[in-house]
């Protein structure tokens, strides 16, 4: 039984309130992107340690009593989790959940988007870093770029809100920036350019590979004229992306400048890993074990709420602190285990 005097807002020591919960439903992935997955043999989480749908739904229900209203399903690659549409159906029934989104590499989207849309999925963030098949294989460790593009088109035709996430890495795909802007203009989908972050399992990250927001804007403006900041982004300061369009009002692009303009001060995100760890920050290694509380300790909802509240108070300042003390380095965390 949850007591009526339980907190309505999850707030940390920097006075940041959590509103959005990222849920990793699996650590497994069908791609091996150079900015994410480790090299060599990967130690996957044992299936017995993965939260089942009933456990996830219970945890989400608890978080809604602390002000969480938006859910994003992540991985690994979330579409590898069997019957994911059943989880969406369960989540959408939870009171106070406003939207359910998903981040995916899009490889299985063509086959599964109908079930996901019918179950109640609202929107998609789809990772796409190149339009060249050979480069797609190099960056992602898998072939068939057209399969991803077909999935994007089908999801768009079904009316889901779609954002394309593009990680720009110097000398890898920065020569395609103009092509991504053309894609945004031709399709009407928002393309968001993301600065390369040190969450790479491959260990290749360094400052020289980061193509900054300012550099990307300069490249874009040389071909398309001035980019114009949209007022709509000002109404949501916690959104990591600043959104722009052009004088002709055709096409929207966004920027997530995590390295040069960190948004830590407005962060309203928390994360639940596939094995039940509560992470208050992308750069938190171990996190806090919620699975043990619901699976072994048989804790009450109120006890779990109290634990979450105390853990969230210890949320670190974020990447901005690591930048300040010059502690950025490769593989600060493994993105495939914590979700985007």
CATH number (domain holding residue 20):
3.20.20.70
Indicate whether 4 belongs to any domain.
no
Indicate whether 5 belongs to any domain.
no
Per DSSP bridges, beta strands 269-272 and 161-168 are unpaired
Average pLDDT over residues 208-213: 97
Indicate whether 3 belongs to any domain.
no
Q: Which residue is associated with the tokens 């491959």?
A: 202
Select the highest-mean-pLDDT range: 1-10, 57-66, 316-325: 57-66
Indicate whether 1 belongs to any domain.
no
Print the domain residue range for 43. Answer: 10-338
Indicate whether 174 belongs to any domain.
yes
Contact between 271 and 278 under an 8 Å Cβ cutoff? The reply is yes
Per-residue pLDDT, 233: 45
Comparison of pLDDT for 258 and 41, the residue scoring more: 258
How many domains, the chain? 1
Q: How far apart are CA 50 and CA 76, in angstroms?
A: 13
Q: b/e map of 264-275 (b: 16 or more CB within 10 Å)?
A: beebbbbbbbbb
Per-residue pLDDT, 251: 93
Indicate whether 158 belongs to any domain.
yes
Q: pLDDT averaged over the chain?
A: 92
Query: Is the predicted pLDDT of residue 43 greater than 90, yes or no?
Result: no
Indicate whether 2 belongs to any domain.
no
Average pLDDT over residues 287-292: 96
Query: Is the predicted pLDDT of residue 181 greater than 60, yes or no?
Result: yes
Surface-to-core class of residue 11, CB atoms within 10 Å of its CB (0-12 exposed, 13-18 middle, 19+ buried):
middle
């Amino acid at each position: 039984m949850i007591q009526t005097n339980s907190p309505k807002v999850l707030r940390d020591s920097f006075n940041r309130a959590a509103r959005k919960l990222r849920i990793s439903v699996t650590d497994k992935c069908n791609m091996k992107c150079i900015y994410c997955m480790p090299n060599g043999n990967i130690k996957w989480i044992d299936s017995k340690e993965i939260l089942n749908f009933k456990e996830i739904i219970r945890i989400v229900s608890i978080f809604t009593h602390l002000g969480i209203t938006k859910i994003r399903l992540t991985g690994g690659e979330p579409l590898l989790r069997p019957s994911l549409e059943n989880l969406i159906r369960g989540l959408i029934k939870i009171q106070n959940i406003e939207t359910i989104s998903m981040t995916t590499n899009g490889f299985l989207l063509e086959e599964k988007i109908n079930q996901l849309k019918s179950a109640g999925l609202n929107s998609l963030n789809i990772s796409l870093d190149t339009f060249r098949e050979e480069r797609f294989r190099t960056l992602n460790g898998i072939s068939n770029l057209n399969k991803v593009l077909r999935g994007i088109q089908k999801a768009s035709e079904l009316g889901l809100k779609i954002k394309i996430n593009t990680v720009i890495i110097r000398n890898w795909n920065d020569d395609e920036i103009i092509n991504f802007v053309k894609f945004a203009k031709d399709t009407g989908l928002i393309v968001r350019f993301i600065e390369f972050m040190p969450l790479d399992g491959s260990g290749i990250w360094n400052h020289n590979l980061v193509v900054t927001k300012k550099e990307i804007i300069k490249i874009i403006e040389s071909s398309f004229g001035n980019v114009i900041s949209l007022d709509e982004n000002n109404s949501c300061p916690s959104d990591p992306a600043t959104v722009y369009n052009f004088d002709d009002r055709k096409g929207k692009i966004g920027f997530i400048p995590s390295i040069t303009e960190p948004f830590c001060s407005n962060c309203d995100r928390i994360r639940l890993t596939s094995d039940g760890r509560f992470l208050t920050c992308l750069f938190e290694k171990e996190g806090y074990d919620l699975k043990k509380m619901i699976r072994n300790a048989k804790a009450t909802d109120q006890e779990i709420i109290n634990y979450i509240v105390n853990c969230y108070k210890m949320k670190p300042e974020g990447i901005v602190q690591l930048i300040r003390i010059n502690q950025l380095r490769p593989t600060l965390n493994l993105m495939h285990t914590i979700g985007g």
